[in-house]
Chains A and B, each alone.
Chain A
């Protein structure tokens, strides 16, 4: 049973997303920083600082970045676990940025989240079946019999044997728990799943199982994924399009093969070169860019381009204005005044 991801044409491509499922415009999420005994606001942590993208049906958009880049905050803001400080989120044409109450509940049926830690995102005192049935109960969807049939279907689909369905969540392994979490997320038949590092806590062989499962589900159910991860190799295997984030902003975005094979932003280039090699024969042959220092404080980011303090190409103009995320000759949008134009020498 082999599967390939739908091609760019089928899924919708970066340049002209067709009837976008989810559209995000200039989204911001800032947290106030207080100091002094009187709790004066002295600044803001700009976790998400002006992010725009769209998501088409049945496509996977990956949000990639390292810790502190804002990808998790962005994911939570999308499902309105957090309220945006500015900007707009549109779902199927409807503005969901500030909705509440009944409307918000309806929105939540269409977009669901799978979290990183399978050990804490499931209530250990609920059985697998109960965890999966919970969303159905909350939304009062079905009568008991139908509910039972539906949860059985879901558990089977994610590969949890029915004879184990009544065991407590705490008794399953990490990979199995993640499957249960996915089944729970699918219970309401959403259009979009936001997955926040869904395989980061799993072993390699279990990772492969879950990635295959996610791909199968996308193919069978036409789900769109917002896939948040710091693992570039995993993202390569699941994403149609990629958006790389740094300090709250998207620095480069495009189709996965374009961004991976022809990265234009220096940070993306450094990121890709930092991934350890997969074959000892490549030792010493890959040109590795080692970035100096740490990520700057998100409450006090550098002026202009956020990456300039660690960038080997930084010039004066980089400190003056934030470069816009636009197409600059590489075929996909990049936020840099001096994007890389030479093909990176990466040996296959």
Chain B
């Protein structure tokens, strides 16, 4: 029973962090109708930024977020402005997918050039044995708790922004109908750029927590993006609650397979769940039918 509880706790806490990254991805999809394939490598970039701030300037990673989040926000807006906005025409969707892939390759190449392919892991207070709390006979690192809290905080902020502010209203209007939103005077381009910026900015937080709990190198981006894609497809693309639910569910399943079967197969089970769900429910768990019928 202890191991079961532990696996579920780990899964839920880690799932929250994946949920945060996936919310960014699903927001971009909802507003711009594109998939930001670069989201995975941007998480890794966020992790490296935190790493650099810690090793060179000794800035604690939670404090470092004050720098990395605005930096990633600017990166997101720039990518949208330079590479996504100019795309027009019938193949816009597939072209934007490839544009994001190209951005991912560039970031990956730059990271390899600077940091090499060795795995990096932080060694500071948050990864030390002191930073743990004992619950029911096993030690839970603080970073899991604080990372989860951070993810919850950001998701609540995003929800608040979406449902309680004028800007959030424009985002939701744009998600529902681009043309109509433009007709009633919403600057759709501005909404798209800021949404992209926000969605990329949350990867800074996600990357920080990810980097603290897991060793990473530039190649980790592929692993992350494939998981995130599986999560948002499972949750129903464009659905924020769905992304959160799917993230927690998938990571919990993975962590249970880890404990009860074999860590080697947990990732296979992860994707197999995705395939199975799509066979029976092509619109994802929480997706609306009309949203899928594109």
Q: Are A and B physically bound partners?
A: no
Interface residue ranges, B against A (CB under 8 Å): none
Interface residue ranges, A against B (CB under 8 Å): none
